[in-house]
Amino acid sequence: MPITGQDMPVPYGVRLLSGWFATGGPTGLDEHLARFGAAPTGRAPATLADDVEAAGLTGRGGGAFPTGRKLRTVAAQRGPAVVVANGMESEPASRKDETLLALAPHLVLDGAVLAAAATGASTVHLCLPRTRSDQAALLGQAVADRNRVRLDEAGIRVHTLPHHFVSSEETSLVSWLNGGGARPRPTPPRPFEKGVGKRPTFIANVETLAHMALIARYGPDWFRELGGADAPGTTLVTLSGAVRNPGVYEMPMGTSARQALTVAGGPSSRLGAVLAGGFFGSWLPVPLDPAARPRGAGVLVALPEDACGLAETAAVLAYLGGQSAGQCGPCTFGVPSVAEDFAELAWGRPGAELLERLHRRLGLLPGRGACRHPDGAARLATSALQVFGDDVLRHLQYGPCPHAAEPLRLPVPADGPAAEEGWR
């Protein structure tokens, strides 16, 4: 978190993280109950879906699907439901879910048990990456604290899963909870039809659940007081790279990328571009369009002018190519091939035919994979060719630029191929 101290005023737009500004530390159960009381789970099940739908809450995990509609769909299915809280956060440039779970865990757990009450579920599964075992232990203690005072009717179980890029996809969670690997599964059926234990399953990002907990207490009109008519509420955004105060910030929906960078103290150097949405996002040219907004995973990475955008993109694509679940051709062969072309463009001596081949391969990826992994890689690569178009021409004519050999600025993990790390 970029903010410290207990006497700082709560910034405009802060709701989920307001407890942090009040105390300067994570919110324990006693403090949480003193501030909010118990989650209002005793109302008619349809009431939460009504309020969430009227609030206009959409998923904060990147898909932006209407949450109220998802609640209704699961509740309408036959048989007992299951709730899954998705805290996997496989996006390497994002820290929002980790931060939220560290500072306001009981808001997330409240949202999960509210979702259980609204869908008729008796079990909540909270999924975290295995790399955050310390946080999983703290959340296990938070659940134990709630159990000790018999706060929740639904049982909450905390799980740690393999940490691959595609393991946060909702069908990957279902597959793992059903005893398989944390890989995306073919659809249909979708999880809301037949998910965990073949039951209708409501899956939501942990930030989405925390917003639900506040909507249940304060209502849809309160939620809409911030943000825009078409995108109400607040959202958590991770800002990093060439900004003065990198960190996780809560801000009204609709905040432009330019405004978001200002919240983080502004650029720390002249910028060459901004990555919006993380590794499945798009490069934005500078100066930033006033209408450009952080989308997808709630990520903005400011790239300094003295970095090579082609080399940064090539490194990300190489990482994505190694994160394939190995279940379809576009992911197994297509993404690595694009990554190889981009590596040649960034660091090699590419010929004129490379650009034609790269465009052809990129056109074959979207909409053809078993999941959205190829689509995201294609989106990133296509935007890089557009935003760094002048650099492409220089690399084709003269070879690698001096900055291509410098250390990377993006947080590209040094992980090996996903297949070598196991899926179970």
Whether the per-residue pLDDT at 100 is higher than 80: the answer is yes
d(CA 125, CA 177): 9
d(CA 129, CA 140): 14
pLDDT band at 4 (very low <50, low <70, confident <90, very high): very low
Whether the per-residue pLDDT at 316 is higher than 50: the answer is yes
Residue 419: what pLDDT? 66
Residue 1: what pLDDT? 43
Q: Can you give the length of the chain in residues?
A: 424
Q: The tokens 């992911």 sit on which residue? A: 331
181: its two tokens: 């690997």
Q: How far is C-alpha 406 from the geometric centre of its chain's CA atoms?
A: 28
Whether the per-residue pLDDT at 371 is higher than 90: the answer is no
Residue 6: what pLDDT? 45
* Mean pLDDT within 377-402: 96
pTM: 0.95
* Mean pLDDT within 350-357: 91
Q: Where are the domains of the chain?
A: 18-223, 309-408
Whether the per-residue pLDDT at 9 is higher than 80: the answer is no
* Mean pLDDT within 69-83: 95
d(CA 246, CA 231): 25
78: its two tokens: 């036959």
* Share above pLDDT 90 across residues of the chain, in percent, rounded to a whole number: 82
Top CATH class of 18-223 equals: alpha beta
Residue 295: what pLDDT? 63
Amino acid at residue number 219: G
* Mean pLDDT within 8-16: 81
Record: fold of 309-408: de novo design (two linked rop proteins) (1.20.1440)
In angstroms, the first-to-last Cα distance of the chain is 32
d(CA 420, CA 323): 10
Residue 368: what pLDDT? 84
Closest CA to 203 of 130, 146, 124, 140: 124
CA atoms within 13 A on the CB side of 156: 31
pLDDT band at 45 (very low <50, low <70, confident <90, very high): confident
Look over the chain and give the mean of its residue pLDDT values, rounded to a whole number.
93
| Buried b / exposed e along 378-407 (16+ C-beta atoms within 10 A) | bbbbbbbbebbeebbeebeeeebbebbeee
* Share above pLDDT 70 across residues of the chain, in percent, rounded to a whole number: 96
Whether the per-residue pLDDT at 416 is higher than 80: the answer is no
The pLDDT tens digits of the residues spanning 190-241 come to 999 999 999 999 999 999 999 999 999 999 999 999 999 999 999 999 999 9
* Mean pLDDT within 262-267: 94
Cis, bond preceding 26 (omega within 30 deg of 0): no
Whether the per-residue pLDDT at 3 is higher than 50: the answer is no
Whether the per-residue pLDDT at 404 is higher than 80: the answer is yes
d(CA 240, CA 275): 10
Residue 297: what pLDDT? 67
CA atoms within 13 A on the CB side of 97: 30
Residue 376: what pLDDT? 94
Residue 294: what pLDDT? 66
pLDDT band at 250 (very low <50, low <70, confident <90, very high): very high
d(CA 116, CA 188): 23
25: its two tokens: 């530390």
Whether the per-residue pLDDT at 5 is higher than 50: the answer is no
pLDDT band at 64 (very low <50, low <70, confident <90, very high): confident
Beta pairing, strands 299-304 & 282-285? unpaired
* Mean pLDDT within 287-299: 79
Kindly report the number of other CB atoms within 10 A of residue 338's CB atom.
Answer: 28
The pLDDT tens digits of the residues spanning 299-313 come to 999 999 999 999 999
